[in-house]
Every structure is written in C-alpha cells, then in structure tokens.
Structure 1
Amino acid sequence: MQFSEIAITNFRCFSDTEVRFEDGVVAIHGSNGAGKSSLLEAVFFALYGSNALPTGVTLGDVITTGEDEAEVVLDFHHNDSRYKLTREIRRRSSGASNTKSVLRADGPVVADGSREVNGYISDLLHMDADAFVNCAYIRQGGVTKLINATPSERQAMIDELLQLGTLEEYRERASKARIGTGRVRDSQDGAVDSLDDQIESKEDQNLKARRDVVTTELGRITDGIDDVAERRESTVKARDEAQEVVDAHEERLNRINDIKNEAESHVGEMQAAADSRGDHLDTVREQGAQAGTLRDRLRRATQADESTLPTDGLASFDLLGDDADAEEAAGVHFDRDAVQERIESAEASEDEAADAVSAANDRQRAAGEAATAHEGNAINAAENAASKRERIDEYRDRIDDHGATIGTLDDEIAAKENTISELEAQLREYGYEPDDADAVRETATNRTLTLNDRMQTVQTDIGAAQGQIRQAESLQEEDRCPECGQPVDESPHVTTLDDERLAVERLQAKNQRLEDERDETKEVAETARELASERDALADLKDDRETARDDRDAAREKIDDLEDEIESLHERSISEYRISQEKQEEAAEADADAEAREKERQQTRTRASNLRTLDTTLSTLASNISGIEDATRRRADLTDEIADHREEIHALARERAELESEAGDEAVEQARTAVERHQGRINRFDRWDDDLTEMRDKRQQTLGEINGSIAELKDLRERQDEAVERADRLDDFYAEMEALEAMYEEVRSDLRQQNIDHLQRILNDIFDELYRNDAYAGIELDRNYEFTVHEKNGETLDPSQLSGGEKVLFNLALRCAIYKLLARGVRGEGSMPPLILDEPTAHLDTGHVSRLSRVVDIMRDLGVSQTIIVSHDDEIVDGADGEIHLTQDATTNRSSVSTPDAGPDLGAPPAP
C-alpha cells in the first residue's frame, strides 16, 4: 500500500494544501509549529475518521479556527487498485459532524457513509484505528509504547495485530453460550422435576372415578328440577283462575268509588260555575262605571287647543244593555287614530329641535377645541424656541472645547512625527528601507525563525559530538575496551578525539554567530513593529484632529440653522394666538344658538307628552268596553256549563246502581281462599327448585373442575415430554460449547506460541543487524510477552533499563519483527500499510540515527514500500527518496508546502 497524494482544506493549520508522497522513504521536515504532526493526523483521519482523533479531541477542534467546514481527500494505491477517500466535516449549531465519507476504487463508489467506509478500510488493511496506531503509525512521543506497556497490554496489542484477538473473541462467545446454556439447562431440569411432581399429584386424585359419580348425581338432580317445574306450572294456572274472579270484583268496587268521586266533582264544578257567573256580573257593573268616568275625562281633554279631536265616538250608551256593540268601540278607535297623528307630528318637531341643539353643540365644541389646539400650538412654538436658544449655548461651548482639543492634537502630532523620524533612521542604520514597516517586520520575523531552526540543528550536533567526546575520554581513561579487553590507543573513538573537539569548537562558534545574527534580527523586527505602531497612532491623531475640526464647523452651521428656526417659531406662535381668539368667538356664538334651540325642543316635548296621555286614556276606555263584552259572553257560557254538569250527575247515578246490583260476596271469598292456598304451594315449589338448582350448580362446578384437572394432567404429560426432550438437547449443546471453547483456547494458545517463536526469531535477526558489534547478545520473549535483553557477558536486562536511543531502536526492531511476521503469515502479500514515524530521532544521537536508517532499509526489505518520517535530522532528510518541507506564515499561522531551498530566506541584510 502506498499513499499518492492528500488534499487538505481547513484542517488544523492547513487552509488549502496539496501534498504528494513519493514511493520509498519520504522525509517531512520544517520548523516547530509548521504542521508536520498535523499532516500525519490528516492522513490518519482520512483513513479512520473520528476514530483516529486522540482522546479529548472533537471534530470541531480539527476545523481551522474561523471556518465552518473542513475536507481531507486521500489518494492511495493498494493491490493494483487506485483508491480515493474523501472525508468532510461541517460545524453545526449542535456541534461539528462528519457529513461526508466516500471511498472510490478505480472510479466507482465502493463505500458511502462513515461507518461503511471505516469498515471497508479496516477490512482492506486488516486493522482498525487502534491496531494501525500500534503497528504502522508511531506518533510523536509514542515510539516506546510497546516497551512501556504492561505485559497484558502488550499481549492484547500483538494478539490483535496477529488476529489472535478474533480467536479470543470466539472463545468468549463460546464461553458465554456455554454459561448461558448451563443456566437454561439447570432451569429446564428444575422444570422437568416440577412437572413430575404435578403429574403425580394429579394421578393421586382418581379423577375419572370421581367424574362418573358426580355425573350420576347430576342426572338425578336434573330430573327432580323438571318434576318440580311441572307441578308448579299446574298450581300457578289454578291460582291465576281464582285470582281473575277476585280481580273482577275489585274492579267493580273501584268503579263504584270512581263514580262517587266523579259525581262529587261535577257538583263542585257546577257550584263554581254559578259563583263565577255572579262574579262576571259584578265585573260588567264595575267596567261600566269606569267607562263613564273615562268618558267624562275625554270630554274635558277634547276642550284643550292642542288636543282637539272629533267626539262622535263619545256618545253615551247603556253599558249593561243589549245596545253596547262594536259600533261604539269603533268610535273610540277613530278618536285614537286622530290623536296618534298629532303625536307623530309633535315627536317629529321634537326630533328636529333636538337635531338643531346637537348641531349647535357640535359647532360650539369644535370651535372650543380648535381654540384650545391653536393656543397649545402657540405655547409649544414659544417653548420650542426657548429650547433651541439653550442648544445654541451648548453648541457655542462645544466650539470652544473643539478649539482646545485641536491645539492639543497639533502638539501630539508633532511629537509623533519626531519619534517616527528617529525609528526610520534606526532602520536605515540596519540597512532596511523604512517605507513598508510591516514587510520589514515580517521579513525579520521569518529570518528569526529560520535562525532558530539552524541554531537548534547546530546545538543538536554539538550535543551529539560532546557525547562522543565523553565516550572517547571514558575509554581513554579505562585504557582497555570493556567488551574485548583490547587497548584503546588505536580505537577510532580515540584517534579522532582531537578532530571531534575541533568540530565542537567550530560548531560553538557557528552557534554564537547565529545567535548574534538572531539578536540583531529581533531588534530589526521590534523596531519595525514599533515604527508601524507609531505610524498608525499618527494617522489616528490626524484623523482625530480632522474630526474635531469637522465637529467645530458643524456646530457653527448648527447655530445658524437654530437661529433661523427660532425666528420661524416666533412668527408661528403669534399666528396661532390670533387663530385661537377667532375660534373662541365662534364658540360663544354657537353656545347662544344652542340655548335658543333647547327652549324650542322643551316646548315640542311638552306638547307630545300631553298627546300621549290622551292616547293612553282612549286605550283604557277601549279596553273597558272589550272587557264588558267578554264578561257578558262568559256568563252565557257558564249557564250552559251548569246544565251539562246536571245531566252528567244523573248518568253517573244510574251506572252506580247497576254495578252495586252485580256484586256477590260469597263467590269472591271462595276465590280469595283458593288464591292463598295455591300461592303457598307455589312458594314451596320455588324453595325446592332453589335447593335443587344450588345442588346442580355445585355438581356442575365440581364436574368442571374434575374435567379441567383431567385436561391439565394431559397437558402436563405433553409438557413433560417436551421438557425432557429440550433438556436432552441442552445437555448436548452445553457439551458442544464446552468442547468449542476448549478448542478455541487450545488453537489460540498454539498459535500464540508459534507466533512468539517466530516473533522472537525475527526480532533477534533484526536486533543482530542493529547491534551486531555491541554488548547485546539477543532478546528473549516468553509466552506472556515479557522481554528480556541478554548481554554478551551473560547478564540480563529489562528493556526499560536501556538508554533512550536504545529504547527507540528496540521498539522499532519490535515493530519491524511484527511487520515481518504479518507479511509472512497473516496479512498476505501486498497488504502492508506504510510505516509512519513522527519524530523518532528525538532521543537519538548521530550513531543511533545511522541505525535508524538501517531499520528503514529492513522495513523496505519486508515489503513496506513506503515509509514516512517526520525528522529534523539532516542525515534522514538527505537519505530520503522524497522530501516534504513545511513552512508557517507567521502572520496567519497557516502552514503550506514548499520545495526544498525555496522557502523564505532573508540572507544578510542589505548594506547601509
């Protein structure tokens, strides 16, 4: 597997960057913070999505600050196919999420969605994100992860890489299945025992014999119930016949009593009718007297001027005689019609007068409101003018303040210009043109970063050289080599000691020159920064002075505008006062007109009231005449009603006589005696029936219970057969799971031991390549993944006792051994991912760096066609097949890729 290219957008410190990966060894280098580890993190994220992020890091954390979305596109080759993997992240209100995950193989989409893509990559590489970190990707600071892990952690890591974890997973599944089956089997055995007990209990109850006895008893009881029912039915028939005789006699007696009551009712109603007829005669007399009184009142009313009307209908008549008819009432109604016309005319006049009063009031109110409004306008205009005079005073104070401010700003501007001239002179002394201070500062800052990197490299070389000098001096003091016992005078470490010391002096001198140049460059950057700041401050002061001048001129213009407005407000106030006086005069005239109209309305109201009173009198007279007529007709009706009641009383008397002659006391008494005797027998039959029914119900319930128990016994026997069969199957399955669990454990143990043997042999071969001439003889790996380092003198060491550089190489050797084992047996040819090393040389001196290169060669021989190394070491960079140089923009903190030697290089500053 080889990475071809990655395109990064808004991921960590990369805005829009494309990086190509060469085959073989690819070296990534650059200054601190340039984004080397972020580039590897982008590759890891492209492969495994959010599973690749370290603990505590969210998807939102990897999106570039200030951006809402990020994208990583990785191209890679694997097993003669070209793959394109795209991951996209978007920031939402609820948090960032992986909105797009697509994997293409030779063009078509083969996986879509985060989960599907992750599964496809894991199957393709035969490792998930954790296995990839433990095997292929050595993160910064994690190079000794396998050595520092506990034996159990190391066993889990290596078992997972060698796919032994799958066997353990299968064994655990078989174990869980066995344990679960055991619990179910035990439960099933208990169920079988319980069914045996229940069946034995049911069989002891002798259910069929009991069912036969109860069935026989139930038949006898049913026959008894039928016999009682027949005898009761015959008795009920005889009782009903006797009861009919008694009921007929009772009906005759009831009818005689009803006739008596009806006759008494008719007598009472006849007497009430006679009394009512006398009352109606009194009513006719009273109404006649009231009609005479009303007639006199009408005659007096018709003499008034405003209510004169015809009196033809007011002629006298005999209210109690036969001549009182509808013609007299018609005259009264004719008089009411004439009065009604006069009322309507008077009310119309009243409405016209009321409208005139309302119109006059409206004119008075409108004129008053207008006068008040204009007066208010005049007052507002005067107050507004006074307010504007106060604002003129405020603007004059502002003009004075702005004048003082402008003077102060002139002094500050002169001082700033002097300071800027001094700073520009300083930059010219350093050899820089001060026209663009920001460009000078950026150039000086970049130069400082470059010098820091060069100093760091020199200091690293000084440390390595001094370490070799100390080692040579130690050998020289011992006089003989502690390993072989030979004299050290001719040893390369001793013969080159003077050269190493001279090299250290040269490196220290170079470091001092770089430090002096860096300090001077820092001073240039600080001076440029201060110059840019002072220029910005000068521009701000000039802007403030111009603003103060503009404010002062604006205040003067505002005073002129306010004086014009005050003059206009004076004129408006006078005009409003004049209009207010005119409206007050209009209001007074309208008020006088309203009083005159109100007097006219009161006169028409009085006239209409008099006419309505006259109409009411005519209405009452007409009502009295109608009442007399109704009372007369009612007296005639009551006379006829009294005659009808007399005839009904005579008919009821005849019917009562006939019913009394039909009643016979002896036959009725015999019938009553028969009814009582038959009812006693019926009651006894009912008690017998209740007792027999209760006995039948109990026997039926008992029979049902017995039948239910028989059915339950049958069901229990069937369930017993099924439970026994299920228990047998569970026994067989438990034995199978137990054997399967043992098989997985045995296979895993055998494979682990085989892998341990292979891994130990491969690890010793690689270790021999790296430490052939050193004091170490070999490495032992036991079945618990404990490491032991054997020295040539027979002593043993724990890997934790190795030096920092030796730990790094030991870990890399272990990684190589795992890779080789994977390539030989587990993964298959062509499936090995690139080896990724992030800063593996941090703890290595010059000698160990050379051995690291040997580790890379070993990995290439194992079939790892691509190794990506992040390093500052020149030996690693120079020996790489491809080089990726990362730089960082000091202003934006964004990283980018540049070709070697094409990055920013200030060189020496220009001559003054």
Structure 2
Amino acid sequence: MRFERLHLKNFKPYADADLDLRDGVTVIHGLNGSGKSSLLEACFFALYGAHALDETLDDVVTTGEDEAEISLQFVHEGETFRIERELRRSGDRIQTITCTLEGPDIAVDGATDVRAFVTDLLRMDAEAFVNCAYVRQGEVNKLINATPAQRQDTIDDLLQLGKLEEYRERASRARLGVEDVRSETKGALAKLDSQIEAKEDADLHARLNELETELTEVEDEIERFEGNEARAEETLADAEEILESYEETRAKLDGIEEDIADLRETIQSDESERDELREAIVEARDRIDDVETELETAAAATELDATTAAAVDVDALEARREVLDERETELREDLADARQRETMLSNQAEKLAERADEFEERAAELRDRASEAASTAAAAAERVENRTDELDALDGETDSLRAQFDDAPVSVGEAAAHRDSVQASLREARERVATTQAELSSVRDRLDEARELRAEGKCPECGQPVEESPHVDAIGEYETEIADLESDLDDFRAGVDELESDLERAESLGDAETRLQNLREKRSLIEDSIEDARETADERGSEAESLREEATDLDERAVEKREAAETQSATAAEADERVASLEADLDEIETARERLDRVERLRSTIDDAESEIDRLRERRQTLAERNDERREYLQEKRERREELAEAVDEARVETARENKAEAEEYLSNVAEKLAELRERRNALQSDVGGVKTSISELESLREDRERIAERVDALESLHGEISTLESTYSDLRAELRRRNVETLERMLNETFDLVYANDAYSRIRLDDEYELTVFQKDGTALDPEQLSGGERALFNLSLRCAIYRLLAEGIEGAAPMPPLILDEPTVFLDSGHVSRLVDLVEEMRRLGVAQILIVSHDDDLVAAADDLVTVEKDPTSNRSSVDRVADASLAAIESSADD
C-alpha cells in the first residue's frame, strides 16, 4: 500500500493544502509547531476516522472554522482508492456529514462502513496500524515499556494469531455445549430404559384378555335389565295417560267453579261502583252551585254588565281584555320613551363631568411637561459650557502628542508601519541568535566527543586509531568554528539589544499616533454634542411656554363642561319621575287583567263539572248493561259444570293409580341396578383403553430409545471431533508463535547488527513469552530499560522495523503493508545515534519498503531523503503551508553548507 495524494481544507493549522507523496523516503521538514505531524495525522484520520484520534472532532477543525475536508488517495495491490471525509459544525459539535471510499468497481458510504473496509483491506484496525506502521511522536518507546503480556497480545494481534485463540475458545464453548447435551441425552436414555422395563413386567396382553371377557358379561346383564325397564315404562305411560285425562276433567270443573265465583264477584262489584257514581254526580252538582256564586262576585269586580253567573258573556270578557291591551301598549310606548330620555340625559351629564375631569388632568399634565422642558433646556445650556471646556483640554493634549514626532524618524501616520518593520527585523535577529546557539551547542558536543576519542587514541571523525589518519586536525577546526560562532553570537545579541530599544521607541510612537486618532474622533463627537445641546435648549424653552398656554385654555373648558353637566342632571331627575308614574299605571292594568283571568277560570270550572256529570251518567249506564250480559254467561257455566260431573269414572281412575305406583317402584329399583352395571362397564372400558394405551406407549418408548441411543452415539463422535479441533487450534497457535518468535528474533538481530555494528552489544534474545534481553560483548545480559535514552529509542525503532518486516514477509504479498511512518524519531537521539537511524532507514528501503514517511528537522535525515517536503507557518494568520523541494539532495547540501 502507498499513499499518493493528500488534500486538506481547514484541518488543524492548514487552511488549504495539497501534498503529492511518492515512493522512497519522504522527509517532512520544518520548525517545531509548524504542523508537520498534522500531515501524518491527517493520513491516519482519513483511513480510520475518529478511531484514529486521541482528541475530539472539534479539535481537528481549524480554529474559527465550521467545516473541514480531508481527502486521501492511495494505491493497494495496483488498484487506486480514494477516501473523502467532510466535517461540519452542527450546534455545539462537529460531526462527519460525508464519508466515502471509491475504488475499482466499489463504492462505500458511511464512516463505519469505510473504516470496516479499510480494516479488512489492510487486515489491521487503527490500534494495529499504530503498533505496526505508525511510530507516533513520543511513542517510540511504547513497545519496550510494555509488559511481555502486552507485547505478546500486540504482536499476536498484528500477526492475526488472536483469531486462532478465538477459534479455540469457540471450539471449547462448543465442546462444553456438546458435553451438556450428551449428559442430558444419556439421562433421557436411562429414563426410557427404566420405563420400558416397568411396562414389560406388567404382562399387558394377558391383562387385556381378562378385562375384555368381563366386559362382555356385564354388557349382557345390562341388555336384560334394559328390556324389563322398557316394559315397565309402557305400563307407567298408560296409567299416566288415564290419570292425566282425569286430571284434565277435574281441572275443567275447577276452572268452571272459579269462573262462576268470579262472575258473581264482578257483578256485585259493578253494582257497588254504580252506587258510588250516583253519589259523585250529586257532589258535582253541589260544587257547581258554589262556583256560580263565586263567579257572580268576581264578575262584579271586572266592571262587566252581568248580574248573574249565567249572564257572564265570553265576548264581553274578550272586549274588556282588548281595551286593557290597547291601554297597556300606549303606556309601554310612553314608558320606553321616558326611560330613553332619562338614560340619555344621565349619560350626557356623566360624559360632561368626565370630560371636565379629562381637561383638568390634561392641564396638570401639560404643566408638568412644561416644567420638565424648562429643566431640560437649562441642563442643555449647562452642557454647552462643560463641553466647550473639554474642547480646550483636548487641544492641549493634541499639541503635546504631536510634539513627540518632532525628533522622530517618522511622521504622524507612519508609526504603525515603522513598528511592524522593527518587529520583523527583531524576529530575524532573534532567529539568528537561536540558530547560532543551536549550531554552537552542536559543535561543542562534537568537540567534546572528538576530545574523548582522541584521549582513547581514536580519530574524532572516523573512530579509527590516530596513527597515519588524515583527520587529526578535526579538533582544531571545531575550536576555530566555535570561536567564530561565539563572535557572531555576540554581534547578533548586540543587534537584538539595539532593535529592542528601537522597538520600544516605535511602540511609543505607535501609541501616540493611535491616541491622536482617538482625540480627533473625540473632538468631532464633542463638537456635535455642543451643537445638539444648543438646539435642545432652544427647542425645549419654546415647548415649555407653549405647554403653559395650552394648560390655561384647558382649565377654562373644564369649567364650562362641569356647568353643563349639572344642568343635564336636573333634567334627567324630572324624566325619572315620569318613568315612575307610567310604571304605576302599568301595574293597575296588570291587576285588572288578573281579575278577568279569575272570571274565565271560574267559568271553565263550571263547564268542567257539567262535563264530569255527563261522563258519570254514561259510566253508570254502561255498568248496568255489562251486568245483564254477565248474568246470562253465569247460567251457561252452571249447565256445563253439571255435564262434566256426569263424565268422571272413579273405578278406572283408581286402577290406573295402583298400576302407576307399581311401575314407578320397579323403575326406581332397575335404574339403580343399571347404574351400577353401567358404571362397571365404563370402568372396564377405561381399563381396557388404559392397557391398550400402555401397550402403544411401550412401542413408542422402544422407538424413542432407539432414536436417542443413535443420538448418544453421534454426540460421542462429535465430542471427540471438537476436542481434536480445540487441541489443533491451540497447537497451531503455539507453533506459529514459536516460528514468529524465531523469525522476529532473527530479523531483530539483523537490524541490531546493522545499527550497533562494532559496538558494545552482541545480540538480542526474544523468548516465547516475548521477553526481550540485550547481551553485551562480554556476555552480560541487560534489560532494555537499562540502556541509555538514545540507545533505548534506537532499540525500539529497530524492534518496530523488525515487526514491520515480519508482517510484510508473513503476509506474502496478499496484503502489502502500509507505508512505514516515523514521526519525530530523533527526539531522544544525539547526533551519533541519528546517523545510525539513517542507516536503519536505508536498510528498510533496501529490504523493499516501498514508502517511508518521516517527520523531522534533523539535517542527516534530510540528506537521506528521496523527497523533501517543507512546512511553514505564517505568524500573522497562524496558518501552515506545505511545499515540495525540487531536489532533496541539493537542499541537504545547501543546509550543510549553511551550517
């Protein structure tokens, strides 16, 4: 796998960046904090998304932006793939809105599916990628600091040996499951054997023959008793028929006797009711006489001309009522007009009084406003005087500030540009001091190392014995170079001091320039404020005078309205008296109408009583006619009673009673006997059915036993096969681990020999538990933790490269490894160890690693690069940019020459 092209938009410090990546060694070079590592993090994030982050999505988007884009194009097994991710702010969070992967004949959409596809393609997830191919900044010692168990898990997962353990655990769980099923099945088989043995001991067929013989005998006995029962039931039926006919005749006689009694009682009741009706007619006539007397009195009170109750004419009542209705209509019309007039006058009086109150309130409000306007005018006049004094003070401060530019190197308006120029020069001077200090420190380190080697009798450059070596003058050159650098450093520091003084003067002029601009703006604002205050004083003074005049006018109008309100109130009182008089007239009309209603009610009562008398007479006549009819029907009933009495045969009835009693007694006895026999028959039938069921169950149990026995045999065979499979997975994992340990130990020692050739260490041992041991030339065993910081870092890089080689060779081309990525690998290395790291990188390239990406600012690594990419950060915008150096080797030579 090789990365080809990376595009970033608003990713960390990059606003917009494109980077083409080629085969070979690519070094990404730049100052600390410029954003070099962010390029590698972007590649890692493109592949695995949020799983590649130690932070949140909010932290990868450029500060101040709401969206970002990351695109990575890579080649895998000769095919080109492209991953694109788009991030966007939603509320308070950044979310992935688009994540796609496109390749030959494939398109994957969604962050989860893309991550799963990449994991399957590379046969490693994000954690395995970091442990195998991506040595992140500060994690160079990760594997050596891990425990053997952690190191074992990490390497086993990378080599996919964890799958074998997963398969072994699955086989183990399956074996235990088979054992459980086998145990349950054997228990079921033993239970079946016990059930079959119990049923075979019961001799079921002999028991069935005995039960069937006894059942036949019982059924014959039941048949005989059922025949006798049928004959007894016939005798009982005949006797019951005779007795039923007798009972029917007796019932008819009893019914006729009851009818005769009912007719007599009804005739007597109706005669009593006729007497009661006669008395009710007499009472109604007396009630009519009383009401007629009351009617004459009521008619006299109505001003009618009638002298008796019979003389009260309905037409006269209606005529009187019409007169009253016409008078009421006239009075109600007059009353409505009077009420309307009284309401109108009252409302007018009330509105006039309210209007007078409004005028008085408005007058008071206008006087308050006039006072407020006068106060505002006085305040505005005072503000004019104060602002004028402020202008004089501002003019004095302005003259003082302009005086600062009399002997300055720039004029007013040029101070900001002058300050920026001095700041830029100061930054350059400080960078020269820092660069010179770093160079001086490096040369001093090389001088110390050279002096140590010379003291040991070795050449300071090549490390060979001093005799006959052409490089014995290196120490003198280092000393000369140090003197020159110290002289340059003093000059540069003096320049920094001078520029710092100039910057202080430039910043003072810049502050003065800014203050002058502020004073100009403030003077303009004060002048505008003075003009506004003068206008306010004039306007508010005139407004106060106008408001006072308007208040006086409103007071006069209020007096007029209140006098008019009192006049309308007096007129409204007169109208109210007229309303009371009309309401009294209406009450008199209502009293006269009630008297007419009483006359009509009394006349209606007399008419109702006359009608009641007629109804009662008709009821008495009806009752007399119905009694005559009942007397004729009573005679017919008496004659029918005599006919039925002659038809009854008492002797035949008595014989039927005796036969019925004998039949009922026999049927009672035979029913009990039949019940016993039928119960016995049912029991025998149940026993026969139970025996037959047991015989059927015995056959079924035998079939189940044969089937379960076969299942037990199959489970025994399956258990053996799974146990064999479990052992196979365990043995295979152990064998593969042993081979991997041997291969990894060999590769690690090959890399170790390259890095530490002719040094104090002889070899490295890696045991089956992934425990690492370093041996010195004299055979002394050391723990890697006992190495120095630089040696330990280089040792870890050697181990990571060996693991990378093992994975690449183990996969055998089926899934080519991702690029080898080293992020600041020299952070713990001195100059001597850096040269060995260069040798290690060259060896990995020689062994066939197609692409190696290194983030570093070390010149030795720059010299070893096939491609050099530089990263710079703009100090103004705080945004980084990336650029490719046309000739990496030339850049390395120029860098060395500058040193």
TM range (shorter): 0.7 to 0.9
CA displacement 1:782-803 (0-9 Å, x = unmatched): 2222222222233232222222
- Match of 1:142, SS? coil
Q: Which of 811, 821, 843 is residue 796 of structure 2 equivalent to? A: 811
* Cα RMSD after superposing both structures: 4.5
Do the aligned partners of residues 827 and 679 (structure 1) sit closer, same or farther apart at CA in structure 2, a change above 3 Å counting?
same
**Does the alignment pair 1:346 with 2:324?**
yes
Do the aligned partners of residues 289 and 182 (structure 1) sit closer, same or farther apart at CA in structure 2, a change above 3 Å counting?
closer
8 Å Cα contact 1:36/1:886 also seen in 2: yes
8 Å Cα contact 1:11/1:70 also seen in 2: yes
8 Å Cα contact 1:830/1:863 also seen in 2: no
1:407 CA displacement: 8.0
Q: Which of 131, 135, 139 is residue 138 of structure 1 equivalent to? A: 135
**Does the alignment pair 1:595 with 2:580?**
yes
**Does the alignment pair 1:847 with 2:843?**
no
1:132 CA displacement: 0.9
Normalised by the size of structure 1, how large is the TM-score?
A: 0.83
8 Å Cα contact 2:364/2:551 also seen in 1: no
CA displacement 1:787-846 (0-9 Å, x = unmatched): 222222332322222222222222222222223233334151882322222222211222
**Does the alignment pair 1:801 with 2:786?**
yes
1:142 CA displacement: 0.9
1:756 CA displacement: 2.5
- What amino acid is the match of 2:5? E
1:299 CA displacement: 5.3
8 Å Cα contact 2:301/2:595 also seen in 1: no
Do the aligned partners of residues 8 and 795 (structure 1) sit closer, same or farther apart at CA in structure 2, a change above 3 Å counting?
same
1:424 CA displacement: 9.3
Q: Which of 643, 654, 678 is residue 658 of structure 1 equivalent to? A: 643
Partners of 1:572 and 1:707 lie apart in 2 by 124
**Does the alignment pair 1:118 with 2:118?**
no
1:111 CA displacement: 1.9
Do the aligned partners of residues 830 and 246 (structure 1) sit closer, same or farther apart at CA in structure 2, a change above 3 Å counting?
closer
8 Å Cα contact 2:764/2:773 also seen in 1: yes
Aligned to 1:672: 657
**Does the alignment pair 1:193 with 2:170?**
no
1:390 CA displacement: 4.3
1:46 CA displacement: 1.0
1:625 CA displacement: 1.9
Aligned to 1:314: 310
Aligned to 1:202: 199
**Does the alignment pair 1:870 with 2:868?**
no
Do the aligned partners of residues 598 and 439 (structure 1) sit closer, same or farther apart at CA in structure 2, a change above 3 Å counting?
farther
- My pick for the range that moved more, 262-271 or 88-97, is 88-97
Q: Which of 360, 365, 368 is residue 382 of structure 1 equivalent to? A: 360
**Does the alignment pair 1:261 with 2:246?**
no
Partners of 1:214 and 1:535 lie apart in 2 by 132
Residues 502-517 of structure 1 aligned to structure 2 (within 5 Å):
502=483, 505=486, 509=490, 512=493, 516=497
Residues 163-312 of structure 1 aligned to structure 2 (within 5 Å):
163-298=160-295, 307=304
**Does the alignment pair 1:41 with 2:41?**
yes
Aligned to 1:328: none
Do the aligned partners of residues 873 and 824 (structure 1) sit closer, same or farther apart at CA in structure 2, a change above 3 Å counting?
same
Structure 1: unaligned runs, 5 residues or longer: 316-331, 902-912
8 Å Cα contact 1:136/1:834 also seen in 2: yes
Aligned to 2:771: 786
Aligned to 2:724: 739
Partners of 1:28 and 1:524 lie apart in 2 by 40
1:365 CA displacement: 3.6
**Does the alignment pair 1:156 with 2:153?**
yes
**Does the alignment pair 1:706 with 2:706?**
no
Partners of 2:240 and 2:592 lie apart in 1 by 86
Do the aligned partners of residues 424 and 836 (structure 1) sit closer, same or farther apart at CA in structure 2, a change above 3 Å counting?
farther
- What amino acid is the match of 2:324? A
Do the aligned partners of residues 256 and 385 (structure 1) sit closer, same or farther apart at CA in structure 2, a change above 3 Å counting?
farther
Residues 366-377 of structure 1 aligned to structure 2 (within 5 Å):
367-369=345-347, 371-377=349-355
8 Å Cα contact 1:367/1:584 also seen in 2: yes
1:416 CA displacement: 8.8
- Match of 1:123, SS? helix
- My pick for the range that moved more, 600-609 or 380-389, is 380-389
Do the aligned partners of residues 579 and 562 (structure 1) sit closer, same or farther apart at CA in structure 2, a change above 3 Å counting?
farther
Do the aligned partners of residues 418 and 633 (structure 1) sit closer, same or farther apart at CA in structure 2, a change above 3 Å counting?
same
8 Å Cα contact 2:366/2:551 also seen in 1: no
Partners of 1:427 and 1:707 lie apart in 2 by 130
Partners of 1:430 and 1:829 lie apart in 2 by 75
CA displacement 1:412-463 (0-9 Å, x = unmatched): 8988998899999999999788748888888888888877777666555555
Do the aligned partners of residues 548 and 341 (structure 1) sit closer, same or farther apart at CA in structure 2, a change above 3 Å counting?
farther
- Match of 2:758, SS? coil
1:249 CA displacement: 3.3
- What amino acid is the match of 1:629? D
Do the aligned partners of residues 115 and 418 (structure 1) sit closer, same or farther apart at CA in structure 2, a change above 3 Å counting?
farther
Residues 710-789 of structure 1 aligned to structure 2 (within 5 Å):
710-789=695-774
Do the aligned partners of residues 173 and 615 (structure 1) sit closer, same or farther apart at CA in structure 2, a change above 3 Å counting?
same
Aligned to 2:593: 608
Aligned to 2:897: none
Do the aligned partners of residues 32 and 746 (structure 1) sit closer, same or farther apart at CA in structure 2, a change above 3 Å counting?
same
Identity %: 35
- My pick for the range that moved more, 37-46 or 622-631, is 37-46
8 Å Cα contact 1:42/1:72 also seen in 2: yes
- My pick for the range that moved more, 344-353 or 599-608, is 344-353
Aligned to 1:329: none
- What amino acid is the match of 2:479? D
- Match of 2:84, SS? strand
Q: Which of 657, 661, 667 is residue 682 of structure 1 equivalent to? A: 667
**Does the alignment pair 1:85 with 2:61?**
no
Partners of 1:671 and 1:425 lie apart in 2 by 159
Aligned to 2:27: 27
Residues 537-686 of structure 1 aligned to structure 2 (within 5 Å):
574=557, 577=562, 580-581=565-566, 584=569, 587-588=572-573, 590-686=575-671
CA displacement 1:548-579 (0-9 Å, x = unmatched): 76996797657866876676677567366467
8 Å Cα contact 2:215/2:681 also seen in 1: yes
Do the aligned partners of residues 735 and 674 (structure 1) sit closer, same or farther apart at CA in structure 2, a change above 3 Å counting?
same
Normalised by the size of structure 2, how large is the TM-score?
A: 0.84
Residues 428-507 of structure 1 aligned to structure 2 (within 5 Å):
435=413, 461=439, 463-472=441-450, 498-499=479-480, 501-502=482-483, 505=486
Do the aligned partners of residues 863 and 624 (structure 1) sit closer, same or farther apart at CA in structure 2, a change above 3 Å counting?
same
Q: Which of 37, 62, 73 is residue 75 of structure 1 equivalent to? A: 73
Aligned to 1:147: 144
Do the aligned partners of residues 195 and 646 (structure 1) sit closer, same or farther apart at CA in structure 2, a change above 3 Å counting?
same
Partners of 2:7 and 2:73 lie apart in 1 by 9
- Match of 1:110, SS? strand
Do the aligned partners of residues 22 and 597 (structure 1) sit closer, same or farther apart at CA in structure 2, a change above 3 Å counting?
farther
**Does the alignment pair 1:357 with 2:354?**
no
Partners of 1:221 and 1:413 lie apart in 2 by 141
1:681 CA displacement: 2.4
8 Å Cα contact 1:416/1:534 also seen in 2: no
Residues 514-529 of structure 1 aligned to structure 2 (within 5 Å):
516=497
Do the aligned partners of residues 633 and 347 (structure 1) sit closer, same or farther apart at CA in structure 2, a change above 3 Å counting?
same
Partners of 2:92 and 2:658 lie apart in 1 by 98
Aligned to 1:905: none
